[in-house]
Amino acid sequence: MTAQQLLVIAMVALPAAAIPAVALPAWFGIRADERRINAIVAAAFGGATIAGLLLVGGMIASDSHRVVVAMGNWFEVGPHHFPWILIADRLSIPFALFSALLVGIIGAFSRRYMHRERGYRRFYLLLTVFGAGAQVVVLAGTLDILFFGWEVVGVASALLIAFFHERPNPIAHGLRAFATYRVCDVGLLIGAVWLHRSTGSGGMVVPGPAEAGWAGVGGSLGVLEATSIGLLLLWAAIGKSAQLPLGGWLPRAMEGPTPSSAIFYGAISVHLGAYLLLRAAPLLDQAPVAALAVTLIGAATALHATFVGRVQSDIKSALAYASMTQVGLIFVEIGLGFRILPLAHIVGHAAVRSLQILRSPSLLHDHHQLEQAMGRQLPKTGGHLERLVPTALQPWLYRHALERGYFDAMLTDYAVHYLFRGLRALDGADQAWTALISTAARPARNASPTRPQEAP
């Protein structure tokens, strides 16, 4: 194994190794020491960052475009095998490096922000789990490994949204985010299985040594197959990147601690959907319908979010919709066939948005300082929309924005409500059938829980 390959492994292994280092003392009841926890996380992600920088330096020096680390089969049965492959190329390196750096910075920032907060160790454990998962997603050389990291990121994200569990809203919003992820992850997994059936593996197609492009999902697929798989991956990306019509979880996700909001919904997690689509670029090139869908979804989301963001009354919600807008634009860029532009957009957006979200608790203080320095009120911004949108349309648009485009209401009142109503009816019927078998009276409905017969 070469030094560069070892560095790629280190970018994943160091954050992964920090997980048991933080979790095991918690399990065995060892008292949490903030300094020690912080040191572990800093060392892990600092080490991953340094490994990334050394890797970049090495690749530049050796003029290589990618490093592929094939670590053999994780397991195999008959014709099926699960290879563990990591790829560091022009797509994954900026992402991985930026992720490791940002998690390290957030870890350092949180040392004071979360100081003496109940759940300090839980916060850092979830941050570490998220960071490790993100590294796996970004450096994955197959869709199966990408799914592995994708799931880890999803759970960590949901648990951090629900961090302040004393209140009911964070719980509800964390569940909403997780449910959205799980529903959309179905697309990623089915797409991965389909790819296996069509190409014989879930691995990414790695360009030749002389080619500058990055590895991607694709291969020799028919148009219909490529379109179907592309749409499935788009469905997965919609959930993770909070695009229409399933973006309602993002502003609600701001219930979590500000540092995690910054890194998840400003920087890393919210861009993973776009990352998946960039990896699926060869597929989108073969499937114009899927590419068009990416473009339309992105454009609709950007329009929706830019209007809804303007009626938010709290800064974190406004920034959430601003993130949604930018990610929508990134989707448009990907759908239109750009590759380097969306990558640059992601990195720039992630940096700016993280900073904005980290500063958001100080927004009022910052405004006061600015106004005192200027000696007057800050000038109003964003007036270009008022000039563009006809006056007659503005009240309607305002109400539409206040209701967040009615997407949340439609999802809750129609899709979820009727589904749950049907399931409760089925549950009632099942309980009635069981009671009939036991020749007892019909039980009460499940909505009013009654304790069943219990052992003494």
Partner 1 sequence: MIALLPAVTAVAYFASALAVLRRRRAADARRAAVRHCALISAIGAAVTALSTERFVPANGMEMIPILMNLSALVAVALAPLATHQPATLARMLSIAACSQLCLATTAPGLIAVAWTVSAYIAWTELADHPEMRLASRVFAVFHTASSGFLISGAAALAAGLDVTGGTLALIGIGIRAAVLPGHSWFVPFCEVAPIGLMVVFVAPQLGIFAYFATAVGAVPHGVEALFVAAVAVTAIAAAGLGLVQVAARRAAAFVVIGQTALVVLGAASGSAVARAGALVTWQTLILAISGFAMAIAAAEARRGYLTLHDRGGGLAATPRLAMAVLLFGLACVGFPLTLGFAGEDLLIQGARFPDLAIIPVVVTAANGITVLRWFLHLFSGAPGDVGVRDLRAGEVAALTIAMALLLITGVAPRLVVSGIDPSSHSKSPHAGGLHAARAASGSSTGR
Could you list the residues that contact partner 1 (CB under 8 A)?
Answer: 26-29, 73-80, 82, 118, 122, 144, 148-149, 151-152, 155, 158, 162, 165-166, 168, 171, 174-175, 178-179, 182-183, 185-186, 189-190, 193-194, 196-197, 420, 423-424, 426-427, 430, 433-435, 437-440, 446-447, 449, 451-456
Which is nearer to partner 1, 89 or 185 (by Cβ)? 185
Q: Of 411, 381, 228, which Cα lies nearest the Cα of 310?
A: 381
Both tokens of residue 419? 């589904």
In the bound state with partner 1, the residue whose beta carbon lies nearer, of 70 and 155, is 155
Task: State the Cα–Cα distance between residues 82 and 74, nearest whole angstrom.
Answer: 6
Q: How far is the CB of 6 from partner 1 (least distance, A)?
A: 19
Q: Minimum Å distance from CB 257 to partner 1?
A: 15
Residue pair 246/186 in contact (Cβ under 8 Å)? The answer is no
Q: Closest CB to partner 1 among 118 and 367?
A: 118
Q: 381 or 438, CB closer to partner 1?
A: 438
Angstrom distance (rounded) from CA 222 to CA 234: 18
CB of 83 to partner 1, least distance (A): 12
Q: Least Å distance between CB 224 and partner 1?
A: 13
From first CA to last CA, the distance across the chain in angstroms is: 62
Q: Would you say 89 or 225 has its CB closer to partner 1?
A: 225
Instruction: Name the residue nearer to partner 1 (CB basis): 46 or 141.
Output: 141
Residue 387 or 451: which CB sits closer to partner 1? 451
CB of 382 to partner 1, least distance (A): 37
**Alpha helix ranges (H) inside 310-415:** 315-335, 340-359, 363-374, 384-388, 394-402, 407-410
What are the start-end ranges of the H helices in 200-287? 223-240, 249-252, 258-261, 272-279, 281-286
Nearer to partner 1, 183 or 397 (CB): 183
Choice between 66 and 122, CB closer to partner 1: 122
Cβ 193 to partner 1 shortest distance, Å? 5
* Residue 327 beta carbon to partner 1: minimum distance, rounded to whole angstroms: 23
Work out how close the CB of 305 gets to partner 1 at its nearest, in angstroms, rounded to a whole number: 26
- Residue 135 CB, shortest distance to partner 1, in Å, is 13
Which two three-digit tokens encode residue 291? 């590419």
Is the Cβ–Cβ distance between 330 and 342 less than 8 Å?
yes
Residue among 302, 241, 297 at smallest CA distance from 266: 241
Chain-centre distance for alpha carbon 47: 23
Nearest to 36, CA basis, from 263, 44, 132:
44
Q: Which is nearer to partner 1, 393 or 426 (CB)?
A: 426
**CB-based contacts of 292-296 (< 8 A; 24+ apart in sequence):** 292/335, 293/230, 293/231, 293/234, 293/335, 294/234, 294/331, 294/332, 294/334, 294/335, 295/331, 295/332, 295/335, 295/336, 296/335
We find the least distance from the C-beta atom of residue 176 to partner 1, in angstroms, to be 10
Whichever of 188 and 293 has its CB closer to partner 1, that residue is 188
Minimal distance in Å, beta carbon 173 to partner 1?
10
In one-letter notation, the amino acid at residue 141 is G
- What Cα–Cα distance (Å) separates residue 194 from each residue in 14, 73, 173, 231, 379? 33, 20, 32, 12, 54
Neighbouring CB atoms inside 10 A of 434's CB total 11
- Before 245, cis peptide (omega within 30)? yes
With beta carbons less than 8 A apart as the criterion, state whether 317 and 413 touch. no
3-state class (DSSP) for residue 125: helix
